[in-house]
Amino acid sequence: MLILLVVLCLLGLAFGLLRWRRCQWTSYGLALLLFFLAGCGPLPALLLKWLQAPYATRPTITWAQRNAIVLLGAGTAHVVGTQQVEPNIAANGRIIEAYSLYRACRQGGNDCKVVVSGGDPFRNGMTEAAAYDRVLLSMGVNDTDLLLESRSMNTWQNAQFVQPMLKDYRPEQVLLVSSATHLNRALIYFAHFGIDATPVRGDYVDVRFTCWPNAWNMALTDFAAHEYIGVLTYHFYNFMGWNAPPSRNGAA
């Protein structure tokens, strides 16, 4: 969002140097309008509604004999002044939801694996899978029920590298846990690799409508835009033939 605003302002400046007054003030006007629409809440509210609405209500789950709960990473944080690396604030809701599903599954006497997927994209010295694994173990998840995928650096690789793990385990049901804003794109990627998953949100965000733009709404606009761009990029890559061929055999 900041880049777009800067580009519009620079265009306005360039048009001004060329004495194209109408184009100049149009660029400045668009930048100002976008700044207020994003910062005051209307724009992120609209974008987030389309992303999150399908996942606002958590699904009713009927547990199978063999279940896989795929937990997607959301980053880690390095604790300043120490060697500690732990899940960052964006990951907490996902971890709690994955544990809640695991506990419900095990209470029903079913077999259940938590597949934690995430490498170290932030270069903090520990993978997301390893950091989340420590938390899940402390919450009571059995070590034998945790499967770690530690290579992926993005959502596409989450799906790509989790696929063979699911084929080995052969679950009857796959649950995909991520943020509500992220689930739409994640489901598209997982479906590309033949994984039919039930989405479960770990968190849900909302805007703060204000009379003056604030950083929270601007950040939410960026988060939402990132998801839409990811989906558009996926379809463009498919059109160009740059993606790996879609898998025909589902993992569940």
- Contact predicate 105/65, CB 8 Å: no
pLDDT value of residue 251:
56
Q: How far apart are CA 8 and CA 68, in angstroms?
A: 47
Whether 83 is in a domain gets the answer yes
Average pLDDT rounded to a whole number, residues 208-237? 96
Residues 6+ apart with CB under 8 A from 29: none
Residues 70 and 118: beta-carbon distance below 8 Å: no
Overall average pLDDT of the 80-106 stretch: 95
2 found inside a domain: no
Which residues form the domain of 149?
A: 59-206
State the total domains in the chain. 1
Band (83; pLDDT cuts 50, 70, 90): confident
**CATH number for the domain that contains residue 153:** 3.40.50.620
Is residue 186 exposed (0-12), middle (13-18) or buried (19+ Cβ within 10 Å)? buried
Q: Is residue 149 part of a domain?
A: yes
Reported as a pLDDT band with limits 50, 70 and 90, residue 81 is: confident
**pLDDT confidence band for 250 (50 / 70 / 90):** low
Chain segment 132-156, per-residue pLDDT in tens: 999 999 999 999 999 999 999 999 9
Residue 221 lies in a domain: no
Give how far Cα 201 sits from Cα of 11, 85, 107, 153, 215, Å. 40, 24, 21, 21, 24
Report residue 90's pLDDT band, with 50, 70 and 90 as the boundaries: very high
Contact indicator for 153, 115 with CB cutoff of 8 Å: no
Torsion of CA 7, 2, 205, 47, to 10 degrees: -10
For 12, the token pair is 């306005």
pLDDT class for 88, splitting at 50, 70, 90? very high
**One-letter amino acid of 105:** C
> Which tens digit of pLDDT belongs to each residue from 162-218?
999 999 999 999 999 999 999 999 999 999 999 999 999 999 999 999 999 999 999
Tell me which residue of 192, 156, 190 sits closest to 176, measured CA to CA. Answer: 190
144 token code pair: 């034998």
Q: Token digits for 33?
A: 């309008």
Q: Is residue 218 part of a domain?
A: no
